[in-house]
Amino acid sequence: MSWLSRLSFDFIDLFYPSVCAACYTKLNKDEKEICLLCKKSLPKTDFHLIDENPVKKLFWGRIPLHHATSYLYFTKHSKVQNLLHNIKYNGNKELAQTIGYMFGKELKNSVFYKDVDLIIPVPLHPKKLKKRGFNQSEYFGIGLSEAMEVPLSVNNLIRQTNSSTQTKKNRFQRWENVSEIFAIVEPDKIANRHLLLIDDVITTGATLEACYQALAKSGNIRLSMASIAVSLL
């Protein structure tokens, strides 16, 4: 970095300091999005290393899965909630990509995810996408795709109906809210493949289950799931 560039950086940083998206402390110049201390202390699940883990068990008796995992444990008023809030409501696309890349590096070395053919984010309805400006799951997927060296598909699985928010709905209401609202545009492009379906947070799994119903119509698929966080409370 030239002296002029460094001077410009220092001037901007003086009035608009970059802060950690998890703990809100000031970032050092060599830190990006998340400080080093938070990276080391985030509550990782390590479920990508365990076959019969709590995320996979969430879908037992509902849909057949090769594997399912989440990167972090979600609890209220936590650093993980701060991360998700900064992504979803503050529009921090780079943060979603950073987390995706961090998690992707770990998934790439997992026996359960080494042969994934395609990464598919849960889509937003066009109206919601226009209002929010971006799909947080897609940017999470961009980071995963780069780290895992697996293609990302963002236009094949589509949301046909603009469902209401899932917040404050119970498990049955969540499933009813998203049932039969997804569809596949080109089934032949996902048939006979190992798909990694991704979302930001897994709570009841209703949205992912509804996505599976659409994906399964394409033929012989093998499905795994992954998310940034999971709420197990």
Range scoring the smallest mean pLDDT among 7-11, 28-32, 85-89: 7-11
Nearest by Cα to 226 from 70, 55, 116:
70
Q: Are residues 136 and 34 in the same domain?
A: no
Q: Are residues 178 and 74 in the same domain?
A: yes
- Over residues 42-101, the pLDDT tens digits come to 999 999 999 999 999 999 999 999 999 999 999 999 999 999 999 999 999 999 999 999
Q: Are residues 192 and 221 in the same domain?
A: yes
Q: Considering 41, 57, 73, which residue would you say is the last residue of a domain?
A: 41
Q: Are residues 35 and 75 in the same domain?
A: no
Q: The domain spanning residue 106 has which CATH number?
A: 3.40.50.2020
Cβ(190)–Cβ(215) under 8 Å?
Answer: yes
Q: Are residues 141 and 193 in the same domain?
A: yes
Say which residues have a Cβ less than 8 Å from residue 99's Cβ, sequence separation at least 6. Answer: 34, 71, 83, 87, 140, 143, 228
Say how far apart CA 47 and CA 59 lie, in whole Å: 14
pTM assigned to the model: 0.86
Say which residues have a Cβ less than 8 Å from residue 207's Cβ, sequence separation at least 6. Answer: 122, 166, 174, 178, 199
Chain-centre distance of CA 65, in angstroms?
18
Q: Are residues 96 and 199 in the same domain?
A: yes
Instruction: Specify the higher pLDDT residue, 212 or 11.
Output: 212
Total domains, the chain: 2
Q: Are residues 31 and 83 in the same domain?
A: no
- For residue 149, the enclosing domain spans 42-230
Q: Are residues 6 and 80 in the same domain?
A: no
Q: Are residues 216 and 193 in the same domain?
A: yes
- Over residues 124-168, the pLDDT tens digits come to 988 888 888 999 999 999 999 999 999 999 999 999 876 555 455
Say how far apart CA 194 and CA 224 lie, in whole Å: 7
Q: Is it the case that residue 123 has pLDDT exceeding 80?
A: yes
Q: Are residues 21 and 48 in the same domain?
A: no
Q: Are residues 30 and 47 in the same domain?
A: no
pLDDT of residue 161: 77
Q: Are residues 90 and 187 in the same domain?
A: yes
